[in-house]
Amino acid sequence: MRGELPPPTPEPSGEDPEGTIRPASPWGATLCVVLGLVAGWGYGRIAEATDTTAPVPSWAQPVTLAFFAVAIALTARQTHRWLQVHREPMEAHRAVNRLALGRAAVYVGSLIGGAYGGYAVSWLGLSAELADQRAIRSGLAALAALGIVVAGFFLERACRVRGDDEES
């Protein structure tokens, strides 16, 4: 009939079946941490070498990151209870949104944590004014970002259903 779309073409047999999403890769998260470390450390060193005023992180950065880590962890807990404990069905779009949130939390948290960690390390041992504040606050922000990464991995794990463990 007119206006109908053609049927979808079947997937080649060597690929994952349609609808399969692999969990976030620990290697990808590690790469994000390394890139963030290099960028954060380089930014701190360049600011010190060029005698420009480097920003001092406020307490808002670690507190905000910790808030997001708790929010994602609570979402992971709720999702786990919903799908794994009570074994209730969840709407597909809601499950995919939570899976995407978990994956984004892993990668973005890794990048942000690496950047704050690198920035903190760049100020260690320097006698610059406010170097201790920069190192402490950036280090706390990096730890809070680590919480986001851990919560993201748990949220991804909570979204798994029976049969997913056999595929990955």
For 39-98, write each residue's pLDDT tens digit.
999 998 888 788 778 888 999 999 999 999 999 999 999 999 988 888 888 888 898 899
Every domain of the chain and the residues it spans: 32-48+56-161
Total length of the chain: 168
Q: What is the mean pLDDT of the chain?
A: 85
Residue 126: predicted pLDDT:
76
Confidence of residue 111 (pLDDT cuts 50, 70, 90): very high
Residue 18: predicted pLDDT:
63
Straight-line distance from the first to the last Cα atom of the chain, in angstroms, rounded to the nearest whole number: 41
Rounded to a whole number of angstroms, the CA Rg of the chain reads: 21
Q: Where is pLDDT greater, at 161 or 146?
A: 146
Residue 62: predicted pLDDT:
96
Cα–Cα distances in angstroms (integers) from residue 104 to residues 18, 37, 72, 98, 143, in the given order:
21, 18, 11, 10, 17
Is the model's pLDDT at 140 over the cut of 80?
yes
Give the closest residue to 151 by CA, choosing from 48, 59, 42, 67: 67
Residue 162: predicted pLDDT:
63
**Which pTM value belongs to this model?**
0.80
32 exposed, middle or buried (CB, 10 Å; 0-12, 13-18, 19+)?
A: buried
How confident is the model over 126-151, as a mean pLDDT?
A: 91
Residue 72: predicted pLDDT:
97
Residue 22: predicted pLDDT:
76
Is the model's pLDDT at 168 over the cut of 50?
no
Residue 95: predicted pLDDT:
86
